[in-house]
Chains A and B, each alone.
Chain A
Amino acid sequence: MLEKLDKLFLEFKSSLESLSKEADILNLKSEYLGKKGAISKILAGLRDCTPEEKKELGPAANEVKNKIQDLINEKLNRIEVEAINEKLAAQKRDLSLTDSVMASNSRHGGIHPVTIIQNEIEDIFLSMGFDILDGPHIEDEFHNFEALNIPDDHPARDMQDTFWFHDPHTKTDEKKYLLRTHTSTIQVRGMMSRKPPFRFIAPGKVFRCERTDASHEMVFHQLEGMMVGKNISVSNLIYFMKSLLSEIFKKEVEVRLRPGFFPFVEPGFELDIKCLICKGNGCSVCKQVGWVELLPCGMVHPNVLRSGGIDPDEFNGFAFGLGLDRLVMMRYHIDDIRHLHSADLRFSEQFKTF
């Protein structure tokens, strides 16, 4: 009986192989598995067998039945897939015709590079607990000069550097307005609006009465920072500057402080970073010095604290100013600062975000 089963299965396989139409396969199926099919006959014949034979033959017949069922399903499935694929092949589209290869592909968007860097730095300082402040572009003498320990006859007040709305030399009690020359004005506004200890940054546009060329602009961007508390030290200042710059440049940055004179800080520093291009060996970017001047900073001058209503005997602090445009130009290798305010979309589209 077992041989008969094996023979039956082999017969089935060879007949299935030759078939390719769904109907023929279904016919074959009923030939073998139908009520009057070959397998059913064998199973029916079991009745006349001895218990031993039943025990042997029963499972074997069922196994063959299942195998046949599986093979048929598999074949039917294959035929269906082939049919669908054939149909899909007929409808095949050009999958290389993506937006990116189209001449009309102009739908992109992006944020201004100055904003990108500004947001990045804002986030670094937010993570270190600094608030972010803002203030007016049109300022008065008090906020831009006086409160920052820049006295009346200081050269910084001269007409060459500052855009004035009123003649600075006329004696009058009226407010004299000007375009802020630095974001340090926010130091004063920040101090007046809060109680120490505090820390904040203030990014924004500043204005200088200066002829424009590839590296000079009359409108540019600065970011001011200030931290006031008890026992703030130069060591703390260096710590924050190093952390900031390592975050900005995404690597450890070597910095050095050297004396720099700014009326609103004392001691005042110029902070240099080791040239990232030549790693300090000297190149055209750092003018062979190995260091690049990056930002002025220092300990807030006692007179400035006083202007902000803070007792310099109780509190002290540090402040710094960062030229954002310089950082933007360094990051993206932009060779002309004038592009930043040009609203030229050939420039903008280089900063697309998708």
Chain B
Amino acid sequence: MLISTEWISEFVELPNVSSKDLGVRFTLGTAEVEEVIESGAYLSQIKIAEIVSIEKHPEADKLNLVTFNFGGSENARVVCGASNVKVGLKTHYAPIGTTLPIGFTLEPKKIRGILSEGMLCSDEELGLADSSEGIVELPADSKLGMTLGEYLNEKSDILLDVDNKSLTHRPDLWGHYGIAREFSALYEKELKNPFDEKFVSKTEAFFTNEAAPITPIIEGETSCIAYWGLSVSNVTVSESPAWMQRRLTAVGLRPINSIVDISNYVMTELGMPNHIFDRDKIEESKIVIKKAGEEVFTTLDEEERNLKPMDTIISDGKKPLVIAGIMGGSSSGVTEKTTNLFLEVANWKPAEVRSTSTRLGLRTDSSQRFEKTLDSQLTYRSLLRIVELIKEICPEAKVIGKPVYCGEDLSAFSPLEIKITPSHICKVLGKELEKSRILSIFKSLDFKVEEVGEVLKVIVPSYRSTKDLECDADLIEEIGRIIGYDNITPEGPMLSVTPVRLTTAQRIHRSIRSFLSMNSESYEVMTYPLVGEKVLKKADWPSTGGLRILNSISKDHDRMRDSLIPTLLEAAAKNTKNFDNYRCFEIGRVYPDFDKEKSVLAVMFYSKESSPFLELTNTMQRLSDNLSLPADIVDKHAKFKSLVVDEDWSGLHPFEFKNIRIMGKPWGSLFSIHPLLLKKNKIKGHLSMALLDLSSFESKPMKDKTKYSPLAKFPEAIFDYTLDVSSETDVSKLLEALSKIKIKEIRHNKIVDVYEHASDRKSVTLRTTFFNPEKTLEGDFIKESEALIIKTLESAGFLLKQG
């Protein structure tokens, strides 16, 4: 919202500080000023000059070099193309650096090689005419050096562009008078009150004892809180006076005619929107406030609006005239021909105004003010102000009767009282303040204070208590912002000391991230928790359900994911274009149902050349060791199916699949993606993923089971042997057979080497390590044990390699 400081100065004397400082003080004390605009600086830059001499431009026929004086001892010279230049002519001169009202800034520049020190102006360039020929010709007696501002009797202005959002809670600041009160408090300057009792009695004197031609009535439940109506006759609609037009233009409103301008002026001055009807267009002399039907209404911007039964309208005997608090209709507005008026100053329920204006997509100067919860107590003052201005601009206008009111009983209002002590204010702010300072701030903000011992009974003005101020904390803010938070010295509190640490889950998440990034060379990534049909379809994802968002902005993000797989698959497709192999992981939430959110770890390895499944398995094994997590990697089991992926999902590789069993349950899975799904997603190569449901174990602290055992005093014995088995035999089968041998001296059985020696045969070298912590192993015992090993393997169908 634009605020004119020229307008503000009518109510409070602004200190002599830079325009920037003015903006900063308001920002720090009240609300954010987004920009400080100096408007009309040209008014003091452009001066009246008299042409002294004229010579032809040596390089251009149509240009002249015009030398002139503008009141000082030195002359200036410009290059000028106007045909009406002559010696002795007086005109307006704009020096370099001037920004003309048409928005053009004069830069120092050479015209055909000769520097022009600014320009002599035409009416058009000064914004005084839509088009004009040649430069302005002023009367011969015009005073040299007089500024354009003096000549036009206009002043420059400093405009503050205040962020509307920062005024959301301050309905009192939606007019210049309210802003002036803030400046008066911020700078400790007196606020003038032109709306005192004298003003009231002077304006009420225009009222007559005639019967009011129109009496507004409220029909049923509506959004109306208060409604004043007043009839005025014998009006001549004209142009509004220049000062009014200038102020309206300054704050971004377009002058239209005297009556519409008065309406806008009062809104911008006092913050209270209002509406003025052409009374002759009100059929049956009726004003009825009621709920709309399902009907189409044409607003004054000539747009057709579909009304609904929840919208409040103001109608005459036949048709709707205004959408309450938002915008009038095209049929009942004031035009140049209007002579009789009906003035409306009303207050409407904020939530209802907002809901109608939001639905219609129609936010107006009026609706955005009503949305803030305006003060009904101020409606009458605004009505009087309209009357005062009408009588000032159009003295022949006649008020018919007295204002007629319907709505809540305004006299039943009792002001809000808040009790607070100065010591409490100081304690919460952390700043010592004199009681007198506190009292003077309250006074400057129009709060009345009664002192009862130490307690201050603060009576809040009605316009601050519609929703802004409620409790003592609000009063503390008033004091804090006026003294300036910059004046509070930062200080640490005295605190009791207690140990703090990350929760188990947080520690596990950190361990996973550092393990996977540092030890497993993976990157942490994030994908959207919101997914859509497209990404699920691409993953051939079995569940299309998921929790649906009612008001999604895009079909691609209209539900919550129930797995990390689809978005990671999408990421894989994207990254495959740029990398031959990569490893990444995400710790993210999945949302199978309300109140069932879970943290899941997904790890993804990609390789163009060969399946990274084994590498991924090793990584997950090491990760669980790192987390001291009791986890086994096991084969599919008909009864115990994966809890993190549907084992029937078509995207799974037929063989490269294992479950990760944690505390007895398959809370994790390891798998490669089926080549067909990879092909569908244009992924060339091999992609493996691991999923781990972190919620299944992250809240339980893991014990570090590392335990020292004394170093061996006796040597181990090693037995290496090579088996000849079919290529399809997994080494796990060999180890499984060996595990059946019950010799306590066998420390472990490991694979030394695997060598494919024929197309369907491979030789596997195994090593069994014997160890006895109490004594050196005897030769006979070792021989017997070796024989048992070979025999056991033979009976399981695995024979020693011959030769």
Which A residues form the contact surface with B (CB < 8 A)? 104, 106-112, 114-115, 119, 122, 126, 129-132, 134, 136-138, 153, 155, 158-159, 162-167, 175, 177, 179, 197, 199, 205, 207, 209-211, 218-219, 227, 229, 231-236, 238-240, 242-243, 256-261, 266-270, 299, 301-302, 316, 340-346, 348-349, 351-354
In the bound assembly, the distance between CA atoms of A109 and B522 in angstroms comes to 4
Q: How many A-B residue pairs have CB under 8 A?
A: 228
**B591–A138 contact, CB under 8 A?**
yes
What's the nearest-Cβ distance from chain A to residue B384, in Å?
31
A109-B518, A111-B524, A269-B485 provided; 12 other pairs, C-beta below 8 A?
Answer: A108-B521, A110-B524, A126-B500, A132-B502, A138-B547, A164-B550, A234-B428, A234-B480, A236-B492, A238-B485, A242-B490, A302-B473
What's the nearest-Cβ distance from chain B to residue A11, in Å?
57
- Contact flag A210-B553 (CB < 8 Å), given A197-B496, A236-B492: yes
What's the nearest-Cβ distance from chain A to residue B248, in Å?
28
**B524–A261 contact, CB under 8 A?**
no
In order of increasing CB-CB distance, the 4 nearest A-B pairs are A235-B430, A233-B430, A267-B477, A343-B571
**B485–A256 contact, CB under 8 A?**
yes
What's the nearest-Cβ distance from chain A to residue B548, in Å?
7
What's the nearest-Cβ distance from chain B to residue A332, in Å?
15
Per-residue contact bits, chain B 471-501, to A (CB 8 Å; 1 contact, 0 not): 1111011001100011011111101111011
- Contact flag A343-B595 (CB < 8 Å), given A108-B521, A165-B547: no
In the bound assembly, the distance between CA atoms of A231 and B430 in angstroms comes to 9
Which of A114, A165, A234, A302 makes the CB contact (< 8 A) with B429?
A234
**A343–B527 contact, CB under 8 A?**
yes
Residue of B nearest to A162 (CB): B551
**B427–A109 contact, CB under 8 A?**
no
In the bound assembly, the distance between CA atoms of A109 and B571 in angstroms comes to 17
**Chain A residues within an 8 Å CB radius of B492:** 236, 239-240, 243
- Say yes or no: is B143 at the interface (Cβ < 8 Å to chain A): no
**B350–A348 contact, CB under 8 A?**
no
Among A109, A207, A232, which residue has the most Cβ atoms of chain B within 10 A?
A109
- Contact flag A343-B582 (CB < 8 Å), given A126-B500, A209-B553, A257-B485: no
Q: Which B residues between 515 and 569 are near A, CB-CB below 8 angstroms?
A: 516-518, 520-530, 547-553, 557, 560, 567-568
Residue of B nearest to A349 (CB): B523
What's the nearest-Cβ distance from chain B to residue A114, in Å?
7
- Dominant SS among interface residues on chain A: mixed
- Say yes or no: is B105 at the interface (Cβ < 8 Å to chain A): no
In the bound assembly, the distance between CA atoms of A179 and B559 in angstroms comes to 11
**A354–B571 contact, CB under 8 A?**
no
- Say yes or no: is B575 at the interface (Cβ < 8 Å to chain A): yes
**Can you list 12 residue pairs at the A/B interface with Cβ under 8 Å?**
A110-B517, A138-B560, A164-B550, A235-B431, A235-B489, A235-B490, A243-B492, A259-B30, A261-B166, A266-B473, A342-B574, A348-B525
**Chain B residues within an 8 Å CB radius of A122:** 502, 506
What's the nearest-Cβ distance from chain B to residue A219, in Å?
6
**A345–B575 contact, CB under 8 A?**
yes
**Chain A residues within an 8 Å CB radius of B581:** 106
**B513–A341 contact, CB under 8 A?**
no
**B169–A261 contact, CB under 8 A?**
yes
Residue of A nearest to B486 (CB): A256
**Chain A residues within an 8 Å CB radius of B29:** 258-259
- Say yes or no: is B181 at the interface (Cβ < 8 Å to chain A): no
**B551–A164 contact, CB under 8 A?**
yes
**Chain A residues within an 8 Å CB radius of B527:** 341, 343
- Say yes or no: is B411 at the interface (Cβ < 8 Å to chain A): no
